[in-house]
Structure 1
Amino acid sequence: MISSRRLPNKRLQRTGISVPLIDNLSHDAVVSRPLKRNVRRLCVTWLCEKENDEMKSVAVIGIFMLLCFGFCVSPCAAQGSLAGDWIGGIDFGNSWQPINLHFKTDQQGITGTLDLPQQGRNGLPLNRVVLESSHVRIEWQGRSGLAIYEGELRDGGIMGNFRQGETKATFILAHETRIDPKIYDRYAGSYKLKSDRFIDIGPDDESDGRLRFLDSKTGRFGVLYPTSDSDFFSGPSFSIPLPVDIRIKFIRNERGEATGLSWQQGNSGALAARKVNPYRKKEVTLRNGNAVLTGTLVLPLKKGPHPAIVLVSPGYSLDRQNGVYPYFFVRQGLAFFALDKRTVDGKSVDYLHSSFEERAEDVLAGVRLLKARKDIKPNQIGLWGSSLSSWIAPLAATLSPDIAFLILKVPSALPVSENILYEIESDMREAEFSDSDIAKARALRKLVSTTILTNTGWVKAKAEVEKSKAEKWFGYARVGWFLSMKVPPDRATLDGLQGPLRYDPFPVLERVTCPVLVINGELDKSVDTKVSVPIMKKALQKARNKQYTIIVLPKANHGLAESVTGYGSEAARNKKYVIEYWNTMAAWLRRHVDARN
């Protein structure tokens, strides 16, 4: 259960080995429109809650100021210079490839580098950059030939045509101002627009530390790009930065603390929001066996003790910044905790070679730390798991009576080896392979999985993989790594391969007796929802669990964003969650957790 790290399906990890990307991926042409600059004068009365441990009162501050909306063109863009950082992507009609460009100007002219984030290829030197008046031409020698970007510099962006060999597409780039990342922490939190509408904002590692936002009323989400220390914009969807759709200006007091923001979407008037639900952060260190773990605890500022929720990292690595999730849960009255670093023998390590049991034990070490704190309710500590970690969270609940509840986002009740086959088929159907090719790819992957699980037939399996490597579907079978592996493998390698593959969630789920909320998506292409949900229900019934809730959200993909097909190629254009995801979590927590003090 995986998605690309740069797409909005937050913290989702598939169980197989991902297919390498080529120089060019694809997507729909984005028609840009001139960006309007509106100047509005607002007289606002704010109720500002001071956000520190010494908060004693609520201050009423009158603010009369001039707010500039529209896309705030940075000086370099306004003057016709390319110098600086640009973010955007190539639009191939049915897919979108994110790119970043970085330019420098000196006496010799303009030089620059290209980043291809989905491929993990950064700092690739450009061959040639030419700026004549507003016309831009960029050349880069890629694996598939010379790539040429030709476009116009206008309205703070570069829009134009891309070609590489026979491949043609359009591209969009927006200029981004580089600011001190510490500023993002000052802006993180919840902002109240109306009694029933909040904007949750927080930095996210999966957006390279940039701020993400969530509109609690509409489900709109996205990335915020800075044009100054206080002005930000977001495009029409998650990955596409232009044309500008949302403009935010943060309001700060004399100490530099954010007290509110102005929010403008489209051509609508600006709305004022005050910052609410103050919190404090605390870095903690703990141990589990020979592993030293660090984590971040986000606590409501009001007097505790508080119930708590632990985010179980969905990937094979730990994120330090978790986007809007800490502030959404603080807004529900819960403390939020997540591990963000794991060190063994002085070296930082991930979970790539760890068993599910090891990961569950790390989570429980965090639970024990929370349970010992006076500001946490020891009998109200729950776990939130998503995608891959929705296998880890129930396992942890069966290993400790300290888990009070579970929230499982897009879990699969299928064994790992079977789920991989579903993912392979989904990917190939999206790429329009024939049923025959899909069957061959599935059969090859099944052969490799069986070989690993039984520790037999290694020579035969490697011969089959070798024989198939020239097939067009080969990359989708997720067995390319098998070609370079020594067979049979040594004991340590075998254990690492067998651990995740042999995991079957059913025997675990049938022992989960705490309250459980399960949320799946109707259009999930990483989890076979129609097959998984009945198995999940059967397992929880077998556990005689009387407090489980299972819902399937219509038109929701693996990230629970509104989708047409659910395929990953739509992810860059996703712009709204199915709002019932967040509303259901909030309502369910009110019924099962006592956030009163």
Structure 2
Amino acid sequence: MKTLTIIILLNLLAITSARSQDISGHWNGTTKRGDKEITFVFNIKQENATYSTTMDVPTFRIAGIKPSATTFTNGKLIIDGSNVGMNYTGVFNTEAQQFEGIYKEGGIEMVLNLKKGTIKIEDSKRPQEPVKPYPYYEEEVIFKNNEANITLAGTLTLPNKNGKFPVVILISGSGPQDRDESFMGHKPFLVLSDYLTRQGIGVLRFDDRGVGESTGNFGKATTEDFSKDVLSAIAYLKTRNDVDIKNIGLIGHSEGGIIAPLAANNSKDVAFMVLLASTGISGTELSVMQSKTLREFPVKDEVAYEKNTRKAIAIVISNKSKTEIKIELTTHYNEFLRPILTSLNVPEKNINAFIENQLKTSLQPWSRYFLQYNPADEIEKLQIPVLSLNGSKDTQVNAKINQEAIRQALIKGQNKNYKIVELENLNHFFQECETGKMDEYRKIEQTFSPIALNEIKNWVIEHLK
């Protein structure tokens, strides 16, 4: 879900030049987060008087991130990635021939200097990732969300080039994700799609809007908007002769698990659904829970902390104007968070950056929608077969609390065909793990537990019409 989770998800540049200097080309730099070196690559292209750029983070095998805007004036480069939760500001050092600056994300600041030139980085594949040639048909596809006037790009895999096959649509979790849901050096959707396609089930996976080859602005979209992207994917599949339109299913991971019911309830063409690490409680309750379990600093009074967290949420979802909300929220964060962080000897500039990031995140359309959205309301309406899987060591989405909420919603809606399973020792990404904590994800070589893969495959095959 959208938490302080993803340590690095990045962005890039669209640049307005106030000089004759042409900064188009590849720029790269390496910074450190703890003991981990992180490499960034920015590919800047000049288009008339402006620049456009895509950004890759090879360390985490993330590519194609698109920041909302970038300016280059008097040697100063500002990359505004507020749509993906980051910012970079650098000044060009003529002598060193590099941009020297600061990268910010989620309250974290890191020194990042960028030099011009390409670098070669070995792509260390995880053991479960498939190697071409694949024993099935693969096609790069594009389809439109006409309502949003955007184009979505993805990959369709089918057991064979000839025939008519059931197809599942993979729906990614929160944050800007590519079609493989690349995260912490893993590609879970690539592994899942390969596994299912080898078992006779077609798979469509696609880049989120504003990511990779897809157009649109990710930062301005809500959970409801993403559900309409899924509806566009369904409409596209219905145009193909090689898709069994009676057997189109949705598989949603994390936030994708709350997008899926919303999409299914606005379509007559979804035959079944799989929820992976999905929530069953409201965005407000999930956020309150995560603010305590995922918090990176201690507090003396947990009761007071929760009370102040709920007050912040109430301000965010109020009917006041954005300006009024920002003023009130700024005051509240300064009264609530600043004393806690000051008592922990956090430098003032870091406190300011943290509060600034909290403000930006809270004021995004996604946050305001998510905090007021209760997936149980949509799950209750589902009259199609539903499988819900959660890992017992998921530290982002508590399995017992959320599965019980999902179960009660299905019972209330009188759904007669569902299965809810808590899988032992699996984390939020369904890796076999020790602690389930987020800093463990990239250390684990396994991308997707075979036990979870088998559960999904068996259930889907059993529910094909």
- TM-score, normalised with respect to structure 2: 0.66
Letter in 2 for 1:361: K
Instruction: Please state if 1:418 is matched with 2:357.
Output: no
Residue identity opposite 2:149 in structure 1: A
Distance in structure 1 (CA, Å) of the matches to 2:199 and 2:271: 16
Name which of 520, 543, 548 aligns with 2:390. Answer: 520
User: What percent identity do the matched residue pairs reach?
Assistant: 22
- Structure 1 counterpart of 2:152, one-letter code: T
Is 1:453 the counterpart of 2:302? The answer is: no
Pairwise CA distance, 1:18: 5.7
Which of 179, 202, 215 pairs up with 1:348?
A: 215
| 1:33-54 Cα shifts (integer Å, max 9, x gaps) | xxxxxxxxxxxxxxxxxxxxxx
More helix as a share of residues: 2
Counterpart for residue 279 of structure 1:
137
Q: Which residue of 1 aligns with 2:150?
A: 292
Distance 1:371 1:365 in 2: 10
- TM-aligned CA deviation for residue 420 of structure 1: 1.2
Distance in 2 separating the partners of 1:550 and 1:419: 19
Pairwise mapping of residues 193-592 of structure 1 onto structure 2 (< 5 A)?
Answer: 211-214=125-128, 258=132, 277-295=135-153, 296-321=155-180, 322-340=189-207, 342=209, 348-428=215-295, 431=296, 433-434=298-299, 436=301, 438-455=302-319, 458=325, 460-467=328-335, 468-472=337-341, 480-481=355-356, 497-576=367-446, 577-592=448-463
Residues 220 and 364, structure 2, Cα contact 8 Å, conserved in 1: no
Aligned counterparts of 1:101 and 1:294: Cα–Cα separation in 2: 25
In the TM superposition, residue 302 of structure 1 has moved relative to its aligned partner by 5.0
In structure 2, the CA distance between the partners of 1:298 and 1:446, relative to structure 1 (3 Å rule), is same
SS of equivalent residue, structure 1 residue 530: helix
Give me the whole-angstrom Cα distance separating, in 1, the residues matched to 2:146 and 2:422.
Answer: 36
In structure 2, relative to structure 1, the CA distance for the partners of 1:362 and 1:424 (3 Å cut) is same
Aligned counterparts of 1:413 and 1:503: Cα–Cα separation in 2: 10
Secondary structure of the 2:430 match is: coil
State the alpha-carbon separation in 2 of the partners of residues 365 and 462 from structure 1: 38
Residues 1:535 and 1:481: Cα distance change in structure 2 (over 3 Å): same
Counterparts of 1:310 and 1:326, CA distance in 2: 9
TM-aligned CA distance change 1:554 to 1:115, over 3 Å: closer
| SS in structure 2 at match of 1:525 | coil
Distance 2:165 2:280 in 1: 31
CA–CA distance in structure 2, aligned partners of residues 446 and 314 of structure 1: 24
Does the CA-based 8 Å contact 2:159-2:200 persist in structure 1?
yes
Superposition pairs for residues 95-174 of structure 1, below 5 Å? 97-100=36-39
Equivalent residue of 2:265, what SS?
A: helix
Larger mean CA deviation between 393-402 and 295-304 belongs to 295-304
The offset of 1:419, in angstroms, is: 0.7
Shift of 1:482: 7.3
CA distance in 1, matches of 2:199, 2:351: 42
Looking at structure 1, the residues matched to 352 and 463 of structure 2 have their Cα atoms a distance apart, in angstroms, of 42
Instruction: Give the 3 Å change call, closer, same or farther, for CA 291–593 of structure 1 in structure 2.
Output: same
Corresponding letter in the other structure for 1:466: N
Query: Alpha carbons of 1:341 and 1:570: their partners in 2 closer, same or farther (altered >3 Å)?
Result: closer
Q: Is the 8 A contact 1:441 1:476 kept in 2?
A: no
The Cα of 1:574 is off from its aligned counterpart by 2.0
RMSD: 4.2
| Aligned CA distance change for structure 1 residues 548 and 496 (closer, same or farther; 3 Å) | closer
Native 8 Å contact 1:351 1:359 kept in 2: no
Q: Structure 1 residues 278, 359: closer, same or farther in 2, change over 3 A? A: same
CA distance in 1, matches of 2:319, 2:203: 42
- How far apart are 1:359 and its partner, in Å? 1.6
1:465 Cα deviation (Å)?
1.0
Work out the CA distance in 2 between the residues paired with 1:290 and 1:590: 34
SS at the partner of 1:323?
Answer: helix
Deviations 1:55-101 (A, max 9, x none): xxxxxxxxxxxxxxxxxxxxxxxxxxxxxx999988x7xxx634349
8 A contact 2:395–2:428 mirrored in 1: yes
- CA shift in 2, pair 1:546/1:327, >3 Å: same
Distance 2:249 2:442 in 1: 32
**1:243 corresponds to which residue?**
none
Corresponding residue of 1:9: none
Kindly indicate whether the alpha-carbon contact (under 8 Å) linking 1:284 and 1:297 is maintained by their aligned counterparts in 2: no
Three-state SS of the structure 1 residue aligned to 2:373 is coil
- Count of residue correspondences: 362
Matches within 5 A, 1:175-194: 178=121
Following the alignment from structure 2 to structure 1, what is the Cα–Cα distance between the partners of residues 147 and 331?
Answer: 41
CA pair 553-461 structure 1, distance change in 2 beyond 3 A: same
> Which amino acid is 1:481 matched to?
E
Q: Is the 8 A contact 1:18 1:478 kept in 2?
A: no
CA distance in 1, matches of 2:372, 2:456: 31
AA paired with 2:318? T
Cα distance 1:98–1:556, how it changes in 2: closer, same or farther (>3 A)?
Answer: farther
Per-residue displacement from partner, 1:491-516 (whole Å, max 9, x unpaired)? xx685552222101111110011111
TM-score (norm 1): 0.53
User: Contact 2:151/2:214 (CA < 8 Å) preserved in 1?
Assistant: no
Q: Tell me if structure 2 keeps the 8 A contact 1:445–1:477.
A: no
2:258·2:279 contact (CA, 8 Å) conserved in 1? yes
